[in-house]
Amino acid sequence: MNTEQQIDLTRIPEHIAVIMDGNGRWAKKQGQDRLFGHSFGVDAVRQTVNACQKLGVRYLTMYAFSTENWGRPKAEVDGLMELMVRTIVGEIPDLMKRKVRIHGIGDLEGLPEDCKAEMYNAIEVTKNNTGLHLILALNYSAKWEITKAVKKIAEKTKAGDLDPIAVNEELISANLSTAAFPDPELLIRTSGEMRLSNFLLWQCAYSEFYFTEVLWPDFNEEELYKAVIDFQFRERRFGKTSEQIINVE
Ligand code: IPE
Ligand code: IPE
Ligand code: MG
């Protein structure tokens, strides 16, 4: 039985989030520039999208550039932005064929003009697609997102449009950039790092975490299937006891 066949198709996570990490180390191992690693990472994105589509995953969120990543050397930041533009433009025909719908979370307004324009264009041209929702976290950080949501809520309260009593978890979720998406059941991070790096802090409150040593450019369909299989062995208790969970099933 191959890896894909070991997956229980009745228990596929609806939303998978991925922290794509390890491009720089992968490039260094080949004696290459970090940007070489980033460009090879694009194929891993394609493979992840393919695998998610095959399994029937509905939402895939990919951390492509964090607010903190602006602190990298200028040549790397510029190269990443160029790669992003090239990739978005180049992939649109295939994404249309696959009926993938693109979304952006993060401060898209803070991106360079061409990158911002191509992101908005990709969101617009794919908006009627009915397949996988591919959510790109670009210039994203969870603390930025939560701060923005708190500010919005505070403004509505100040204007008298919102009673502080009405502030609850649903309202906070509804003011995040992920308002239209369910929380991810599974979060994958590559390259052996075991941290969130300011990604989806609110939304991952009850996600299952899967960490792999595989560096992002080496990630592929098979690796995604392995993560889903691992997820299917987890017992999601949400604060209850194991017995309660088993008795419900
Ligand atoms: C992830 O790979 C890609 C981005 C953060 C844009 P890294 O560039 O962080 O690779 P490492 O962690 O240095 O190996
Ligand atoms: C997280 O990776 C950001 C993205 C994958 C886009 P980093 O490589 O930037 O994270 P840290 O700095 O090691 O925590
Ligand atoms: Mg890294």
Instruction: Tell me if 148 is assigned to some domain.
Output: no
Give 16-36 pLDDT, tens digit per residue: 999 999 999 999 999 999 999
Instruction: Report the distance separating Cα 12 and Cα 10, nearest Å.
Output: 6
> Encoding tokens for residue 171?
């309202």
pTM greater than 0.85 (yes/no)? yes
Per-residue pLDDT tens for 34-66?
999 999 999 999 999 999 999 999 999 999 999
Is ligand 1 within 6 A of the CB of residue 139?
no
The alpha carbon of 89 and the centre of ligand 2 are apart by a number of angstroms equal to 24
Report the pocket of ligand 2 as residue ranges, CB < 6 Å.
19-21, 63-66, 69, 193, 195, 197
**Considering the domain boundaries, does residue 90 fall inside one?**
yes
Note the pLDDT of residue 144.
98
Write out the residue range of the structural domain in which residue 104 sits.
4-141+182-248
How many CB atoms lie under 10 A from the CB of residue 87?
19
CB-based burial of residue 129 (10 Å sphere; 0-12 exposed, 13-18 middle, 19+ buried)? middle
With the most atoms of ligand 1 within 8 angstroms of its CB, the residue from 18, 19, 21, 78 to mutate is: 21
Ligand 1 within 6 A of 20 CB?
yes
Q: How far is the CA of 19 from the centre of ligand 3 (A)?
A: 9
69 is a catalytic site residue: yes
Average pLDDT, the chain: 97
Q: Is 138 helix (H, G, I), strand (E, B) or coil?
A: strand
Q: Classify residue 174: in a domain, yes or no.
A: no
Q: Would you give per-residue pLDDT tens digits along the chain (249 residues)?
A: 899 999 999 999 999 999 999 999 999 999 999 999 999 999 999 999 999 999 999 999 999 999 999 999 999 999 999 999 999 999 999 999 999 999 999 999 999 999 999 999 999 999 999 999 999 999 999 999 999 999 999 999 999 999 999 999 999 999 999 999 999 999 999 999 999 999 999 999 999 999 999 999 999 999 999 999 999 999 999 999 999 998 875
DSSP β-bridge partners for residue 204: none
Residue at 200 is within a domain: yes
In a domain, 165, yes or no: no
The DSSP code for 207 is P
Choosing from 42, 80, 136, 191 the residue with most ligand 1 atoms within 8 A of its CB, the one to mutate for a pocket test is 191
Q: Can you tell me the distance from the alpha carbon of 249 to that of 231, in angstroms, rounded to the nearest whole number?
A: 17
Q: Which atom of ligand 2 is nearest to the CA of 68?
A: 9
The number of domains in the chain is 1
Q: Is 169 inside a domain boundary?
A: no
Q: Can you give the CATH number for the domain in which 227 is found?
A: 3.40.1180.10
Asked if the structure places residue 216 within a domain, the reply is yes
Give the pLDDT of residue 249. 56
Q: What is the pLDDT of residue 1?
A: 84
198 in ligand 1 pocket by Cβ < 6 Å?
Answer: no
Atom of ligand 2 nearest to the CA of 191: 8
CA 171 to chain centroid, in Å, comes to 22
Is 152 inside a domain boundary? no
Check if 114 is active-site.
Answer: no
The H-assigned helical ranges of the chain are 23-29, 34-55, 74-97, 113-125, 142-158, 169-174, 221-232, 242-248
Is 39's C-beta closer than 6 angstroms to any atom of ligand 1? Answer: no
Query: Which residue has the CA at smallest separation from atom 10 of ligand 2?
Result: 197
Q: How many Å from the N-terminal Cα to the C-terminal Cα in the chain?
A: 26
Kindly state if the Cβ of 54 falls inside 6 Å of ligand 1: no
